Amino acid sequence: MVQFLQNYLLYYLLENMGKSNIIISTFHCVPNYGAVLQAFCLQEYLGQYADQVQILNYCPRALTDEYKNINFYSLGSIVMSILTLPNFLKKKKAFKNFEHNYLKLTSSKYFKQEHIADFSDYSVVVGSDQIWNPQITAGFDSVYFGQWPASKVSKIVSYAASIGKGNYSDEEKSVIKRLLEKVHAISVRENEANTILTQELNICKPVTTVLDPTLLAGASILQKLVKPVSYKKYLLIYNLTGNPILNKLAEEVALKKGLRIVEICGKRVLKKSSKEHTIILDAGPIEFVSLFNQADYVVTDSFHGTAFSIIFHRPFITVPHKTRGSRMINLLSKAGLIDRLSDSFSDSLCNQTIDWNSVDENIAKERAISEKFIRENIL
């Protein structure tokens, strides 16, 4: 009842506030499940309250070059690209269809920041994803700070921006501090990023830690994407790093639970399905969400794999990520599920029942912080 009243009050307040036009500047143009789905969720959530929400159709080469059809890094990469190309093209097509059907992109597509048009009547929301990781964007890209030559926007706000790394060099600190001067309100996705900005960079403005857009949107929005899947009684693997420990753990859980294994491959690999282990090499965003929604169990090392397990109340185990484990620890701690983080099999963890009412209450508290930030700074 308390949660219902909170939701009703938020809805009433937002519905009776002045409407706004919003441009979202984020990663959306690559065949990456987390990137595309967080963009969709932020678009849909803000779209409930704003007059118009669009995603800036900005496709810099720093992002798209990582997803070329043929990779010319070495002879081995060329051969691997050719062998995996048919499934990769199917996957890219599925992402393109999702973009066309579900993302509200600006009518013009931009490849360079100097070509981006003026959006004078819009507020700019930058984030989520690792938009402030200079290793991904080939140095800091001012577009992901809401700034481009023709920009005369009314307001720039970051929502759940991620830095994706543990520290910045002195030169990087100088650049990001300068870029953040024009950002009116700052929120980030991880506590670690909050600490870096406030303590190491001494950012003068308040920095709020908020939920990833997928958790902000929750099941009510993501359920729109769910379609029936052809698998029954299955354990879902989403293994970003190819960690063999994860696969071994998943096999033990599947054996204990009497489940077949269905695996979504996030990277281009050469794998073949067997009777007990189905490999999916060309899943698009719709199939990705649907497989999480209907899984009997999930084993993953992915932040968004963990997030979707929580959203859809799927029993799961998260194997610590080798380099980005802090994101999962942060999320699981907030949800009260830190015991789901493990890299070894145990009967007790495998059979432990998750108290989803308690988890939902914990996430609702975090969502309230996120909604307050949005209400005060974006809408």
190-235 pLDDT tens trace: 999 999 999 999 898 999 999 999 999 999 999 999 999 999 999 9
Q: How far is CA 65 from the centre of its chain?
A: 20
- Classify residue 61 by its DSSP letter: H
pLDDT of residue 5: 55
Segment 289-311 mean pLDDT: 97
User: Can you tell me the distance from the alpha carbon of 123 to that of 24, in angstroms, rounded to the nearest whole number?
Assistant: 9
Residue with tokens 């994860």: 246
Kindly write down the DSSP assignment for every residue of 133-177, as one continuous string.
-TTTTTS--GGGGT--TT---SEEEESSB---SS---HHHHHHHH
Tell me the pLDDT tens digit for each residue of 360-370.
999 999 999 99
Spatial CB neighbours of 23, under 8 Å, sequence gap ≥ 6: 54, 55, 56, 106, 119, 122, 123, 124, 125, 153
pLDDT of residue 7: 59
Predicted pLDDT at 173 = 92
Query: Model confidence at 320, in pLDDT bands (50, 70, 90)?
Result: confident
Model pLDDT, residue 298: 98
Residue 317 has pLDDT above 70, yes or no: yes
Residue 319 in this model has a pLDDT that exceeds 90: yes
27: which residues sit within 8 A by CB, 6+ positions away?
35, 39, 63, 129, 130, 131
Tell me what the mean pLDDT of segment 252-279 comes to: 94
**348-368 average pLDDT score:** 96
**Could you read off the pLDDT of 4-14 as tens digits, one per residue?**
555 555 555 55
| 163-184 mean pLDDT | 90
Convert the pLDDT of each residue in 4-46 to its tens digit: 555 555 555 555 445 689 999 999 999 999 999 999 999 999 9
Residue 325 is predicted with a pLDDT of 67
pLDDT band at 326 (very low <50, low <70, confident <90, very high): confident
Lowest mean pLDDT among 146-155, 302-311, 327-336: 146-155
